[in-house]
Structure formats: C-alpha cells, structure tokens
Structure 1
Amino acid sequence: MLVAIVIAASLLSWLFLRADAISPQAHEHYARELRLLRQADAELNAAVLASRVGIQLDFDTIGTATGELHKVVSELEDVPGFLSASDRLQVLNRVAQYRDVLEQKIRQIDLFKREHSVLRNSLAYLPLATDLLIGDDTAPIAQTRPIGIFVRGVMTHAHTADAQLAQRLEESMTKLESIVAQLKGAHQQQMTNVLLHGRVILERKPILDTLTRETLAMPTAALGEELAQTYARGYERASRTAHNYRVSLYVLALVLAGYLALVMLRLAKTSGDLAQANRQLKERIATLDRTQHDLKLYATVFTNATEGMLITDGSGRIVATNPAFSEITGYTTAEMLECSPSMLKSGRQPENFYRDMWRTLDRRGQWQGEIWNRRKNGEVYPEWLSITAVRNQDGATSHYIGLFSDITERKRAEARIHHLAHHDSLTNLPNRLLLQDRLEQAILQSHRVGSHTAVLLLNLDRFKTINDSLGHDLGDGLLQQVAHRCLAVVRETDTVSRPGSDEFVLVVPDIDHPQDAAIVARKVLQTVGRPYLLGDHEITVTASIGIAIFDGDGLTPAELLRNADAAMYRAKAEGRDAYQFYSADMNSASLGDLLLENQLRGALERNELELHYQPKVCATNGRLVGAEALLRWRHPDLGLISPGRFVPVAEESGLIAPIGEWVMREACRQLQVWRDAGMMPVPVAVNLSAHQFTQRKLSSLVEEVLTETRLPAGLLGLELTETMLMRDVDRTIETLNILRDMGIDLSIDDFGTGYSSLSYLKQFRVNVLKIDRSFVNDIHRENTDGKIAAAVIALAHSLGMKVVAEGVETEAQREFLLAHGCDQFQGYLFGRPVPAAEFEKALTARRMGLPGTVLAKLHEDVTSI
C-alpha cells in the first residue's frame, strides 16, 4: 500500500509538471519578440529607402533598427523550454539562418552608407561650386550657361532612374571636360571642381541604386516569417502534448478521487461504528457512575436523614435501620435486626387500624398516615409514617421501606395554633369563632332539654377615654382583670368570651327562667364595678350589659348576639352601669339608623340637603347683625329632618367631612347671590365639625371657597366648640391665627359645656363667645338664676370678646342678658331658622331700616322645625 501510494504520488507529480510545462508568459514573450523581429526588419528597410530618396538625411534610424534587430535575434536564441527538442533545434536553426542573412544585410548597408555619404557630399557641394562659377562676373556666359544646364541635369539625374538622361549627361560631361582643358586660371579651377562633383554623382549613383536594390531584396522578411511559423508549429505540438498530459492527469485524479471516496466511506463507516461503540461505552460508564453516585447519595440520605428509616424483607423482618431511627425510638440497629416493627406498637390504635393499613399496602403498594408508637423508654409519641412496598420482577413484594418522623412538636404547635385560633391572645378567653361554636352547642342543648340559654353582651363604659388617657398597656391590663372577674362569677359550664375590643360575651346555658340571667348580670356588674389598680392609678369602671334569651329573642347565634348588642346600647343610652333585656323596638331603632345612613350617603348627589338661616340681632336695638347657617335634610319620604337626627349618623359613618364642606360652599354661594342682588347681606356663621377642624388643609379649603365664590372674608364666620379647640392646642393656635389673618370671624360655640383652660383661651384669636342655650334656660330657675350666663358675659368682655346668647325665647331672658351686657341675641324670640328665600325678608327689612320688632314679626308665620 505504501509503495502504491508513492508510485501514485510520483505519477501525479510528473503528470502535473508535464501538464503545466507550457508557460503562458514565456509563450507571450517569444511571440512578442517574433513580432518585433518582423517589425524591426520592416523599419530597417524603410529607413534604407528613406535615406536613399533623401527623406532621411542621417543614418540614425538605420542604426537604431539595426541595433533592435541584433537585440531581438539575441532574445530569440532563448527558445522556450516547453518546446520539444526537435522543435527547439528547428527554431534555433531558423534563428541562425536569420542571423547570417542579417549579418550580410548589415555589411551591405555599411557599403550603402559609404556610397551614399560620397554621393550626398557631391550633391551638397555641386550647387555651391556651380553658384561660385556662375556668380563670377568675369566668367563668360558661353561657359557658364552649359555648366548650369549640366548641373541641373545632374541634380535631376540624382533623384531619377532615367538611362537616356544619364547618357546625355555623359556626353555633356565629355564636351565640358574638353572645354576645361582649354581654359586657364581661376575659371579653369572653378569649372574643374564642378565637373569633378558631377563625375562623382554620375559614377556613384548607379552603384548606390544597386546597393539599395540588393539590400531591400535580402530575404530577412521571409526568414522571419519562416521562423514564426516554425515556432508556431512547435508551440502547437507542445500544447497538444500538455493537453494530453492534463487529460491523463484528470483521468488519474478521477480514479484516485473515486478510490479516496471509497476509502473515506469505509473510514466513515468504521469511524461511525467506533463512535457508536465509544458512545455505548461512555453510556455504560456514565450509568455506572450514576449508579455509584446514586448509591452513595442513597447511603448518605439513609445515614444522614432526619427522618427515621427502616427496611424489612417480604415477611416483615427488619434488615436495616438508619441512625435517625435509633435517635427517635431509642433502639439500636443491632437490637432491631430480624425483629418485627410491631414491637414499637403503643396500643393506642385498634387492631382494625393495622388490618386496614396492610390491606391498603397490598392493594396500592403504599400507605401513609399518623400513628402512635412507643419508644424504648416507654414514652408514647406520634409519628407520620409512610410505607412503600418494593416488588421484584415477578410482582411479589420483596421488601418494605418505612419512612417516619416524630411529629410531637408539630402536634404541640397545632394545639397552640388551634388554641390561638379559638382564643383571644390578650385574655385567653374564647374568641368570636369559639364563641360561635359554644353558642351553637348551648342552643342545641337548650332545644334538646327544653331550657333557656342567655347571651349577655358586656361593654365597658368610656373605655376609649381610659385607653387614650392611661395608655394601651394599662388598657390591656384592665381588660385582663375584667376577664378574670367575669370568670369568677359564672359557672364552669358557662362561657366567657372576648370577641373584640372592650366587649365580652357571656353564654349562660340551661337556665330555667330568663330572670336567672338578670341575677348573673347583677353579679357581673357588681364585680366589674369594683375599683381597679392600674399602675399607680386606682380607677372605677362601669359596664353596660344587654341580654338576649333563647328562644324568645332569637333562634340562631347571630340573632342572639345582634339582639344582645341592641339591648346593650339601650342600657348605655339609659345611663350606663346597668343591664337591659332585649325588646323588639330596639332593633327597629338600630335598623332605622342603618337605613338613615345609607340614604344619607346619596343625599348630596340628590340635592336633598339645604341651609336654613337663623338671625342674630343687636341686643340694644334689635337690628339684624348676623346669622347662623343651620343644616337641614329634606327627605323625599320623611320630610324635613332635624340635624340632631342625622348629624350623629354622619359623624359615625365619616360623611360629616363632605357634608361640612358642602355647607361652607353653599353658605358662601348664597351670600354672594345676595350681594349680587344688592341685598346687603350680614355675616353668616358656619359650624365646623371636629373632623373638619383637624384637617391639615382647613385654611386652604376656606381660601379656595372664598376665591371660587368671590366672597369677602369678613362675611364668613366659623363656629367651633371648646372640646374641638383643646385637642391639639399648638395646632389649634396656628390654624386660628391663619384664619384670623384671612379676616374670618371665629366663635366658640356652646361655651361652658366642654372643658378649656383659661390660659389657652387667652391665646385663641376668637371674636365671639356663644352662651349655650342650657345656661340661658337656667335664668330664673331656682339656685341658678342666670349666674353662669352672667359670669360668661363678664369673662368674655374681660378677654375683649363679644357675647352671643343662644336660645333666647322670652322677654325675661332678653332683659336679664341685656342688663348684664350681652352683645347679641339668637333665638325664637327674634326669629326661627328659615330657608334662604324667607331670610331675604329679614335682609330687606334691614336695608329699609325697620326696627327689631318688625323683623321678628316677619318671622312669626314661619313654620318651626
């Protein structure tokens, strides 16, 4: 095989070299030199002919052409090597022949140049010598005239081939020579020179013409063509030979390519087989590695798993356990080998439990569930067990694998979570979820035995105040003490729960008479009402209890709790620190409040709200000096509703903020309408809710409303309560200063009914104190006789404030307040709250300057609300 490869490679190389033997560059170069040879020979002939006829005055062109021919011949002697030996020899012989003929031609040209030089010299001097002879004035015309004719003939003869002219010139020459022999002196010499040059021309011209003909007749051109043809024939034979070599090379290459393709196919097949075998080997190795890795992993998992593991044979005898098994059960592997797992039984599960377990294993091949087992030390513990049956190729069970974990802590956590899910985290009492369950059980028990179940809903009075004042920590402590006291006065079968906040629910089942619930309620109120020690404080807290009885007050837990809640609110409404049994009218009132709230939510959109205006008059002359805007709700079904009915509902539901903003905008809008109509309106005061006043942007809202309505700030007044002002004194002072700087009148409404500090009162930039109607009503009552009203007037004047008395309804009240210096009155005696259209009458009367009695008469016919 190696020898065959060497032979094939050598043969390919030899064929390749032979096929590529012809050099295109060498061929082009030799062909170009052949063309130059023929061209240079033609140029040499042309130069000789041009020199003969006188077109070329020198021999430079002849010399250049001769040198070019020598150069080309030398180049042609370097015959291309791709020609065969015989062809190269023929071409070289042709080149040698051409060189010999060329040398002869060059020698002939040298003779031509010598003869031509002599002739050209005579032709140049003959005219000069003739001119010198003819130009001599002493020479006779008889002598000069024949000379002139002769010279002209000679010059003509030099450029023609006329034989007769040459004969005549010879005859003339002979005559002139005879004449010269007779002359003497200078004329003889001059004429001799002319004839001498004429003789040279006549003699040399035939010789030169012969040389020219012979030179041009030399066969250099024919030899050049033969040389070119000889080379062409040799090149053609070399090309055919190279082509044959190329064909042979191509055929051999095809044969080798086919053989190589066959070899490659065999190699590819062998390589594929080898790669397949290699892949299979790698797969086997990888499988072995994975198996080994898996075995190590399984061994690691088996050894390091936190769950206990055991493996038994098909008959249930233990063959292996892991360290976690020993840690959980206390038994070592050596102690358990060949033993049955049944030795771990705790005895808590009945035998049918294990029968069901084995039945499931046989049917499904696995089982998992919670089971109680016993440790080596005798302790019973819960575990989560998973058993899997391992089957052999025949489908028979060969082994069982058990995986279990100790779930003692999980069970404890579940118990804790269950307890937290059903008990209040603060008091550890049942929460709402467990209360629901206990109440349902109590109802079922009462229904079964025909007894009653009482639900007592307890709510601590004013707990929010205590929580806010003393802090949430002490508030939580109070709730814990209340829980302990409630537990102390009820039976073990009763339930005390805390569903949330400061509410407690007591479920008292199996009572014979509803009045037994009252006995429990009194005990609870008595024990809850005892003083509490909270930190450094000893306080007394009361409670209100609502009672609902199954089955007269409800059949479901939800009904009983709802009705007990309604009874509890009735107890609070009637003075607190008491209990109330549920009655049907309680839910009606609560339902009425709920419906009222839902209807109030759309009152603004439905334009059901409106403002009524109650006048304020000067105490001394009774003239109209101001008004208070009072909100009314014109319900489509219930008619006009008083604020005392729906304002608390609005405050509870959070609707008071948008309603308060609407009141301010509507009052300012109406004032601007009166101004545009020329009514000369008086300042109107608007009541602010606590929610509005605590808004951070109250001043921005007021400024926005005044800008939108184009109302001067002096026509708008704001009325605030003492309690509202004292919530955040620093922010209150800041807000009041901003509003006063804007020009807003500020009043403290219902002064004396809340709480305030006189030191802060001096810092509040308010204009007016309004005496609450309760103090005005006290005038002429026993033991009071208006002393509080008189003190308020004196206090306000000492602080530089005006005083407005609300609720003035009798002349006696007016006279008393006037006597003590009250500035303005507001009440039914001077006018009831009326709609805007009715209040315009008061504005008209003020513009007309009517006295206060007439103003009051204008309002006598207005319906009181």
Structure 2
Amino acid sequence: MIQPLPAPNPFAGLARWPLLRAALLMLAATLLLGWLFRQADTLTSPEPQHYGRELRRLLNIDAELDTAVLASGEGLQRDFDGITTSMREFTELGASVATVPAFLGEADRRRLGAEIAALRAVVAEKAELVDRFKRETSVLRNSLAYFPAATDRLIEEGMLPPAVSRQTGIVARNVMGFVLDAQPMRAAEMWERLDQLAIVALTLPPAQRERVVNLIAHGRIILDRKPVLDTITRDILALPTGARAESVIHAYVDGYQHATDRAHTYRVLLFVVALGLAGYLMIAILRLQRTSLALAGANEHLEERIQTLRLTESELHLYANVFTNASEGMAITDAQARIVAVNPAFTDITGYSIEEIHGRTPAVLASGRQDAAFYREMWATLGKRGQWQGEIWNRRRSGEIYPEWLSITAITEGDGGVSHYIGIFSDITDRKESEARIRHLAHHDALTGLPNRLLLQDRLGQAILKARRNSTQAAVLFLDLDRFKTINDTLGHEIGDGLLRQVTQRCLGAVRETDTVARQGGDEFVIVLPDLEHGQDAGTIARKILAALTEPCRLGPHELTVTGSIGIALYPGDGADPSMLLRNADAAMYRAKADGRNGFQFYAADMNTHSLGELLLEHQLRGALDRNELRLYFQPKVNAADGCIEGCEALLRWQHPDLGLLAPGRFVPAAEESGLIVPIGEWVLREACRQLRAWIDAGLAPVPVAVNLSGQQFAHQDIVALVREALAEHRLPAPMLELELTETMLMRDLERTIATLAELRAMGVTLAIDDFGTGYSSLAYLRQFDVNALKIDRSFVHDIRPGSSDGKIATAVIALAHNLGLTVTAEGVETAAQQHFLARHGCDQLQGFLFGQPEPAEAFAQRLADDDRRAPHVRLVSAH
C-alpha cells in the first residue's frame, strides 16, 4: 500500500470529488504529454534533410564556379554560361538558406545566422569579382583575338617598311608569348618594346600609322589586362566561400545534434511523465476502487505499451522520411545479400522498382568493368572492417553503364553475426563528364579537336623516346597554310574556321594512325611521325598532305583552293629535344615559303646560321660607336661638263675587328631594326661637319659634303636643331652641307615634311632627293618639296648602253628636274658611254667609280690638294 506523502497535498480540498480531481489531473497530464510529444517530434519533418542538402549543394556549386572561372581564364571555355549559371545558383542558394530552421535552439540559430551572414558577404564579394572577371576577360579576349590577326594582316599586306614590319612581328610574338607565361619580369620589356614600336609608328604614313597605333593599343591592353585578370582569378579562387560554407554546415550539424539531443530528452520526459501518469492512475484506481487492482495493473501495462508504440512510431517515421527522401540511392539486403528494400532514389538511378529487384542480389547491377578480384577484395574488406566504400561502375535497367560512389555497411546482431547490409550510393556521371571535358579542353584545340601545344609536347617526347629505344627516326612536319590570312580577312572568320576544319580532316587522312596531327594556333599545324625507318618517308607524307590540300574545299557558297608550306626536322639529326625539333622545323617551313610556297623543305643547319650571325652582328654594332669603329669614306661628285670636283658624298663604313671593313648594306638594316640608326646617323652628320672644318683648317679648298638621312632620324629627331647645332659647333656655312633624303621618307608625314624642308632651306642647307624614281611620290607632291636637287638612281644609269635606246628614264628625270628649277646628279656612273650620254642630255653632276671609289678622309684630302686647280676629270676618263 502506498503511503501518503508528508508534504501538503494541493488537491486535498478536492478529495471529496475524486472524479473531478482525476479529470483535472488527466487534463494537465494530457496537455503536458502533448507539449512533450510536439517537442520530441520536431525533427520528423523533411525540413532538416532538405536544409542539409541545400547546404551541401552550396559546396558543389562553389567548386563548379571555381572550375568554370579557371577554365574560362585559361581559355578552355569561350563563353560565360557556366560561370553565370553557377554564380546565379550560388547566390540564390545562399539567399534560400538564409532562413534559419525553426527547430534549432536560440543559441544555435544565432550562430548559424552569423555564419550564413558571413557566407553571404563572401558570396557578394565573389559575385563582384566574378563580374569583374567577365568584364576583364571580355576585354582581354577581344584584344587577343584582334592583336595576332591584325599583326599578321598588317605584315602580309607588305605596306610597312621591312624593318618596321619585322619589329612589329617581333613585338607581336613577344606580347603573345607574355600571354602564355605572364612572367612579371618580362612585362617591363614588353612595355618598352611597345613604346619603341609606338615611336617607330610616328614615322609611318597616316593610314599605316593608325593601324600600327591601333595594334599597339591592343598590345597594351593585353599587357595591362592579363596580370589584372590573373589577379582577379586568384582572388576569386582565394575567397573562402568553401570554408564559409563548411562553417555553415558545421554550425547546422552542431545545431541539429543539439536539437536531436533535446528531442531525445523530451522523449525521455514524455516516457517519464507517461509512467508517472500511469502510476498516478494506478494509485487513484487503488484508492477509488481497491477491488479493481487487476484492472489498474492492466491499464498501467496498456499505457506503457502505448507510450512505447508512440516512441517507436516516431522513430520509424523519422527513419522512413530519411530513407524515402534521401537523394542517394539506398538498398537493404539480408545476410545472404538478397535485396529486401530500396528507396525511391534507388529506382530513379537504376530504373529497377522494388517489385523487380526484391529478392535478387546487387549482382544484377554489375557492369562487368570490375573483375572477380575486385569483388573479392570488397567482400574481404566488409568482413574485416564491417564497411567498404569506393567508386564502382554499375548498369541501369536500360543497359546504360554509369559510375557511382558506393558505401556498404554491415549490420551485426548481438552474437556478432551479420543480419543485414545497407548500401548507399550516388550517381557521379555528371562529375565524371565534367572532369573528362576539362581534361579534354586542357589538351585539345577547341576548333579542330586536335591535340594542342601541351599534348603535342607529350606526343613528341614519346616519339623521341620510341625512336631512341628502337634505333629509328622521328620527324616533325611544321605546316603553315599559304595566304590564309587573306581568306580569313576577305571571307570572314566562319569561312576561315571551316577551312581549318577541312584541312584538319585532310591532314588526318594523309597520315598513319600512329602519327599525331596537332594545331599550334592560327593556320599552323604540326605533324609528328614516330618510328620512321628512313627520313625520306617524312617527305612522302609531306607530299601526300600537300596533294590533299590542293583539292578544292567547298565552304558555303565558296569553293576555295589552299596550299601549304611544310618544314621537316628529323630526330636525332636535327635536334635531340622537342623544342629544338619544332624550332628547326619552323625554320625549314620559312625556307619553303621563301622558295615559292606550296612545297616542303628538310631542315639544314645553315637555315639558323644566318639568323644567328645577324643577331651577333646587331649585338656587336651596339658598341661600335663607343669603340670608335665607325668610319666615313668620301666619294667625289664632278661637274658633268668639265669633270671638276664640285662635291662629295659621305658614306658610312664599319671597321669590324673580326670581319674587316663592312659596307652599309651589311649592317645598316640591323641598325634600323634595333633603333641604333638614330645615334649612328647623328654621328655621321657631326663627323662630316668635323671633317669639313678639318679640311678648311688644313688650308684646303673644300667642297660641299652630302650626308644621307635615315627615315628614323627624320621622324624621331629634331633635324633642324641638330643641323643648326652641328654647323654652329664647327663654324661651317650652311651651303657646305647637303642632306640627301629618299622619296619614301618624305611621303610619311607630308605636313611635317614640308615644314621641316622649309626650315632647312631657310637655314641655307642644300637638299636633295636621293634614288629618285624608285619611290612612290607624285609630281603634285614633288612641287611642294622645297629641295635643290634630284639624284638619279644607279639602276637607271646602268640602263644606259652603247647603241641602245635605254636611258629614257634618266633623260626624263633630267628634263623634269630642269623644268622644276632643280639640279640633277647621276649616281653609279661607271663607263665613259654613260658619262657622255648624261653630259649630252644636260645632267649637272656625276658620281660613280668612273671618277673615284669611296676613300678615307686622308685620301680624299690628298685628292683635293692634287686637284687644287680643279683639273677637268674628262681627261682622266680618256685614260681609262
């Protein structure tokens, strides 16, 4: 019998109404039980699982976004669709998880809310960086697409002077090379080269200058934007969005665990209260109906069963929700691996319903890609550890093979024996396809599908190893399409791209299956031929490729015929590593183009020797002024009528320490290309003036000295100030100096040219147009040039022969000059017939080997001294 508690009973006043007291207690207990049941049932809804899946999606989308940004930054993905979609989903998902689940505790909700706010702040920062990335990428791609194409077009049109064209090509290659490696130490060099090219561009005619300046602008955009884009990409990848998402997940997992613990506590309380209520009912029944003890015990047992069933139902409801709503496929088997249950995700992934799969083993899903040893090892791990996970390939009901990530757990009984196996798997087809696409884009050309530079290096390295192992040869064929830029620029890039795809198919059809056809970029292709018995086999393949190319290509409404030039380098004779073979094949290709195109050339060592010699010569030229190696030689100009010396021309020579005396044609092109022509030209002008003063101081009666001006001097120097300074320094009268300028130089900037010539004439300097008739000036402009004389080019003088009618051009130039009030000097006079012809037609002065070769200042001074009375040189002519 239960003794009453010693404490006061608040329900003592209701003792006379036992039924009312019992009813009130039942009502209070019911309310308490309902509240406890509600608190214990908070985690049975789909919300916790849905919220957790959303958080996991944040990590996946963030990884996809970083992958898309990296692929786009490396040029592997041309559009921003992937970036835009991932960024939109990332932002929307970040907003959707901002609503903290209500079942979490207050502290956990605050923590999770803070983590979500931090995540959204990083997402907003990432969105801003991604927007900048797309803008910067668009600007850079525009310039990258324009810059090489515009450079090739400008060079192939041949409108630029050779030196400028070559400098433009060098700058373009260096800028595009900077795009590939983006080394900061090269940036300053690239900017300097662009600045040099910009200075050269000022010397060009307006149309050409505008195109070069536009080209330079795009080059500067590339140099400026490429580091910026790399920095933005690094900043995007460095943003801790993944870490923040992980922090949110950890905060949610902790809160979920706390909520689970609370629910468990409420379930315990629910059980305790239920037991207390049952006990109270038993006591009440004992007090009220002592005779109904057996019935009270039955009621107590019944209440305990009800509470147990409720708890069991709650747990089963939770487990059913997890099992049914999980996105991963789940399968439960018995100890003999026979399937007893699967969830809807299993059916969605495999195509098998529970009716079709029940009682069968998972072997029905086997794809055959894993062998028996794989499954033996899997079951051995399960038996040893009770768990196995890994990647496996299975087969859907439709027969399609797919990859999945599978985890298997063994469920054991009390005696340690296995009662069931639970398999949980997810379809990773999309991830595999994304990885495969990225790997393919990283190693193949997007337009043609051919191996790119990276994969080409690997294939070429393998070919070299195979040739070395088998004692055979390997060949590299460098193919460049002839005049492809003209097709691309005339018919559009779509036609050009279609042509490149057809060329790809023809090249593939002309080689063996073991050969590699790769695209270097633009219209350049490289073919690697491994394991050749004879080097001439490469020539056979080259002929097949050239023959295939000459077949007409049908591209839309156009039918085109294209040719190519191929350079061939052989391993091991032409190079021991991939870079040397490619470089020598490239040199051979250029030799094939120089030999008329539509052909092939095997590499020969002398192809690089000439280029190396030019490079060394340019390097040595840089110190020639400092080492006092430059010399001035003087050639007389005589009166055509009486042969008296009336002037001379200062001609540059280089006293090379190893090669001896070099003529201008040997080193002036290198000086013009490197920009050294400006200081060298200034030295020539000052040295000519110094020599004139030396002759005057020596008591000789000097003659005017003619000095040639280079185009770069005329464009980039203040010629008027330089001439004025040189004349003043050596106290020379201006008429003693004659400046010779070419037609091409004068036509580059007409307004500036006319103004400069006017200033020089006002100073008293004599001006002459050199090599007249070989340029492209018109008579309309010639009248505006304030010059004193014209010089007939030696090619027109050489046309003068005894008994022929040649010399008409020279006669026309003489007549034209005299009609304009100008004097005429003929260059390259080497025979008496030429002298008499020119004198008979009124030429004013003659210059050439007939009257004296260029000679040092000392020898020319002796000529002046011997010719003190200006004896006619016609008498010297008769002695020859």
Task: Give the TM-score normalised by structure 1.
Answer: 0.51
Does residue 660 of structure 2 align to residue 639 of structure 1? yes
Superposition pairs of residues 339-358 of structure 1, within 5 angstroms? 344-354=365-375
What is the rounded CA distance, in whole Å, between the counterparts of 2:857 and 2:343 in structure 1?
93
Identify the match of residue 795 of structure 2 among 770, 774, 786: 774
| Runs of 5+ consecutive residues of structure 1 not aligned to the other structure | 1-280, 861-865
Decide whether the 8 Å contact of 2:802 with 2:833 is kept in 1.
no
Query: For each residue in 1:634-658, what CA deviation from the matched residue of structure 2 results, as whole angstroms up to 9, or x when unmatched?
Result: 333222333333344456xx41x1x
What is the rounded CA distance, in whole Å, between the counterparts of 1:676 and 1:305 in structure 2?
103
Decide whether the 8 Å contact of 1:386 with 1:404 is kept in 2.
no
The answer for the alignment partner of 1:808 in structure 2 is: 829
The answer for the alignment partner of 1:668 in structure 2 is: 685
Superposition pairs of residues 373-388 of structure 1, within 5 angstroms? 373-383=394-404
What is the rounded CA distance, in whole Å, between the counterparts of 1:539 and 1:628 in structure 2?
53
Q: 1:507 to 1:797 in 2, by over 3 A?
A: farther
Identify the match of residue 741 of structure 1 among 729, 741, 758: 758
What is the rounded CA distance, in whole Å, between the counterparts of 2:804 and 2:565 in structure 1?
33
Does residue 853 of structure 2 align to residue 853 of structure 1? no
What is the rounded CA distance, in whole Å, between the counterparts of 1:396 and 1:599 in structure 2?
89
Higher relative contact order (CA 8 A, sep 6+): 2
Does residue 710 of structure 2 align to residue 688 of structure 1? yes
Structure 1 residue 660 displacement after superposition: 1.3
The answer for the alignment partner of 1:457 in structure 2 is: 478
Q: Please give the secondary structure, in 1, of the residue aligned with 2:568.
A: strand
The answer for the alignment partner of 2:741 in structure 1 is: 719
Q: 1:703 to 1:761 in 2, by over 3 A?
A: closer
What is the identity, as a one-letter code, of the residue corresponding to 2:656? H
Q: 1:294 to 1:829 in 2, by over 3 A?
A: farther
Superposition pairs of residues 614-629 of structure 1, within 5 angstroms? 614-623=635-644, 628-629=649-650
What is the rounded CA distance, in whole Å, between the counterparts of 1:837 and 1:464 in structure 2?
55
Q: 1:550 to 1:811 in 2, by over 3 A?
A: same
Q: 1:512 to 1:673 in 2, by over 3 A?
A: same
What is the identity, as a one-letter code, of the residue corresponding to 1:850? R
What is the rounded CA distance, in whole Å, between the counterparts of 1:535 and 1:701 in structure 2?
55
Q: Please give the secondary structure, in 1, of the residue aligned with 2:708.
A: strand
Deviates more, 1:790-799 or 1:464-473: 464-473
What is the rounded CA distance, in whole Å, between the counterparts of 1:318 and 1:855 in structure 2?
122
Does residue 428 of structure 2 align to residue 406 of structure 1? yes
The answer for the alignment partner of 1:825 in structure 2 is: 846
Superposition pairs of residues 366-445 of structure 1, within 5 angstroms? 370-383=391-404, 404=426, 406-408=428-430, 410-443=431-464
Q: 1:444 to 1:606 in 2, by over 3 A?
A: same
What is the rounded CA distance, in whole Å, between the counterparts of 2:741 and 2:554 in structure 1?
41
What is the rounded CA distance, in whole Å, between the counterparts of 2:815 and 2:565 in structure 1?
41
The answer for the alignment partner of 1:785 in structure 2 is: 806
Q: Please give the secondary structure, in 1, of the residue aligned with 2:399.
A: coil
Q: 1:283 to 1:527 in 2, by over 3 A?
A: closer
What is the rounded CA distance, in whole Å, between the counterparts of 2:803 and 2:324 in structure 1?
93
What is the identity, as a one-letter code, of the residue corresponding to 2:760? G
Query: For each residue in 1:290-325, what CA deviation from the matched residue of structure 2 results, as whole angstroms up to 9, or x when unmatched?
Result: 778426999999899997475979989999999877
Q: How many residues align?
A: 562
Decide whether the 8 Å contact of 2:464 with 2:474 is kept in 1.
yes
Decide whether the 8 Å contact of 2:331 with 2:346 is kept in 1.
no
Q: 1:699 to 1:493 in 2, by over 3 A?
A: closer
Q: Please give the secondary structure, in 2, of the residue aligned with 1:830.
A: coil
Q: Please give the secondary structure, in 1, of the residue aligned with 2:749.
A: helix
Decide whether the 8 Å contact of 1:803 with 1:824 is kept in 2.
yes
The answer for the alignment partner of 2:277 in structure 1 is: none
What is the identity, as a one-letter code, of the residue corresponding to 1:732? D
What is the rounded CA distance, in whole Å, between the counterparts of 2:446 and 2:369 in structure 1?
33
What is the rounded CA distance, in whole Å, between the counterparts of 2:453 and 2:436 in structure 1?
18
Q: Please give the secondary structure, in 2, of the residue aligned with 1:717.
A: strand
What is the rounded CA distance, in whole Å, between the counterparts of 1:353 and 1:581 in structure 2?
53
Larger radius of gyration: 1
Query: For each residue in 1:346-398, what CA deviation from the matched residue of structure 2 results, as whole angstroms up to 9, or x when unmatched?
Result: 33233444555677789999987654333454322334668899999x99999
Decide whether the 8 Å contact of 1:608 with 1:635 is kept in 2.
yes
Structure 1 residue 285 displacement after superposition: 12
Structure 1 residue 662 displacement after superposition: 1.0
What is the rounded CA distance, in whole Å, between the counterparts of 1:781 and 1:396 in structure 2?
121
The answer for the alignment partner of 2:520 in structure 1 is: 499
Structure 1 residue 661 displacement after superposition: 0.9
Q: 1:534 to 1:293 in 2, by over 3 A?
A: closer
Identity %: 53
What is the rounded CA distance, in whole Å, between the counterparts of 1:606 and 1:322 in structure 2?
90
Query: For each residue in 1:666-718, what CA deviation from the matched residue of structure 2 results, as whole angstroms up to 9, or x when unmatched?
Result: 123224424655736735333425x667xxxx255435534654658874635
Q: Please give the secondary structure, in 2, of the residue aligned with 1:673.
A: helix
Structure 1 residue 581 displacement after superposition: 3.3
Decide whether the 8 Å contact of 1:831 with 1:856 is kept in 2.
no
Query: For each residue in 1:238-288, what CA deviation from the matched residue of structure 2 results, as whole angstroms up to 9, or x when unmatched?
Result: xxxxxxxxxxxxxxxxxxxxxxxxxxxxxxxxxxxxxxxxxxx99999999
Q: 1:414 to 1:290 in 2, by over 3 A?
A: closer
What is the rounded CA distance, in whole Å, between the counterparts of 1:802 and 1:366 in structure 2?
105
What is the rounded CA distance, in whole Å, between the counterparts of 2:558 and 2:651 in structure 1?
43
What is the rounded CA distance, in whole Å, between the counterparts of 1:623 and 1:537 in structure 2?
67
Q: 1:671 to 1:286 in 2, by over 3 A?
A: closer
Q: 1:752 to 1:341 in 2, by over 3 A?
A: farther
The answer for the alignment partner of 1:243 in structure 2 is: none
Superposition pairs of residues 448-847 of structure 1, within 5 angstroms? 452-460=473-481, 483=504, 486-487=507-508, 489-509=510-530, 513-525=534-546, 528=549, 543-574=564-595, 576-603=597-624, 606-623=627-644, 628-650=649-671, 654-655=673-674, 657=675, 659-674=676-691, 677=694, 679=696, 682-689=704-711, 698=715, 700-703=717-720, 705-706=722-723, 709=726, 715=737, 717=739, 719-720=741-742, 722=744, 732-743=749-760, 749-753=770-774, 769-780=790-801, 785-794=806-815, 803-835=824-856
What is the rounded CA distance, in whole Å, between the counterparts of 2:492 and 2:620 in structure 1?
37
| Runs of 5+ consecutive residues of structure 2 not aligned to the other structure | 1-104, 113-250, 261-317, 697-701
Structure 1 residue 762 displacement after superposition: 6.2
Q: Please give the secondary structure, in 2, of the residue aligned with 1:684.
A: strand
The answer for the alignment partner of 2:182 in structure 1 is: none
What is the rounded CA distance, in whole Å, between the counterparts of 1:307 and 1:718 in structure 2?
86
Deviates more, 1:816-825 or 1:712-721: 712-721
What is the rounded CA distance, in whole Å, between the counterparts of 2:618 and 2:687 in structure 1?
27
Superposition pairs of residues 246-261 of structure 1, within 5 angstroms? none
Q: 1:338 to 1:570 in 2, by over 3 A?
A: same
Q: Please give the secondary structure, in 2, of the residue aligned with 1:850.
A: coil
Decide whether the 8 Å contact of 1:547 with 1:582 is kept in 2.
yes
Decide whether the 8 Å contact of 1:688 with 1:718 is kept in 2.
no
What is the identity, as a one-letter code, of the residue corresponding to 1:294? Y
Decide whether the 8 Å contact of 1:667 with 1:684 is kept in 2.
no
Structure 1 residue 733 displacement after superposition: 1.7
The answer for the alignment partner of 1:137 in structure 2 is: none
Q: 1:841 to 1:492 in 2, by over 3 A?
A: farther
Decide whether the 8 Å contact of 2:408 with 2:422 is kept in 1.
yes
Decide whether the 8 Å contact of 2:475 with 2:535 is kept in 1.
yes
Decide whether the 8 Å contact of 1:713 with 1:743 is kept in 2.
no
Q: Please give the secondary structure, in 2, of the residue aligned with 1:743.
A: helix
